[in-house]
Amino acid sequence: MARPPVPGSLRSVVLRCVPVLMLASASPARRRLLEQAGIPHQVRVSGVDEDQIQHAEPAELVKLLAQAKAQAVAQQLDPVGDAEITAVLGCDSVLSFEGQVFGKPSGPAEAIERWQRMAGGCGSLLTGHCLIRRRPPEVLACVETVVRFAPLSQAEIEVYVASGEPLQCAGGFALEGRGGLCIDGLDGCYSNVIGLSLPWLRQQLRVLELSGGFEACSS
């Protein structure tokens, strides 16, 4: 049976509900954040060699990494095949603790060593954000959240690391997972610690006049 025509008023909403944001990240946590926020998106991994990007300042490092990812994916967009993509978002996170930058631990031994240092202390989770639309400007920023780590025993540290979760996350913990039990509190944006600041993204989508498409899909 032929599908009945969509009224003009509804057609505009349907057309606005196609994916418009390209996430330049392989992170399942970032994708879940966008899904939970009702933001239509696609995912394309940048393939950027992160080890080639270095900077002494953690805030500048995450911005450079986010920018490299976003720019790499933006350059891959096809004018026809990716016509519905309105903007590309690149993100990268690190934990700054006592002047040292912590990305993903290389293995269980490093994760245990880090947690022995972090337990009972405070660190800064820094996430670089780069939002590129088809026309300038490019928006680049670092969002910082202070994380207060719980004072854990050696046994608690070893059990957490044995779960394998710390090995997949910048800083060696996942706030939305088992790592939530290892955190005493936060000062700043919660979603930023997971890998993407939703308040920052909301503000930028408004500035870039992209929010209307997202609002239509979430209503």
Give the active site residues: 92
CA distance 16 to 215: 9
> Rounded to an integer, what distance in angstroms lies between the CA atom of residue 7 and that of residue 163?
52
> First and final CA of the chain: distance in angstroms?
29
How many H-runs (helices) and E-runs (strands) does the chain carry? Answer: 8, 7
d(CA 44, CA 23): 6
Radius of gyration of the CA atoms of the chain, in A: 19
CA distances, 187 to each of 123, 143, 148, 191, 216 (Å): 10, 12, 8, 12, 32
Question: What's the half-sphere exposure (Cβ side, CA atoms, 13 Å) at 140?
Answer: 16
Opening angle at CA 195, ends 52 and 179, nearest 5: 110
Decide: 144 and 189 in contact? Cβ < 8 Å.
Answer: no
Amino acid at 133: R
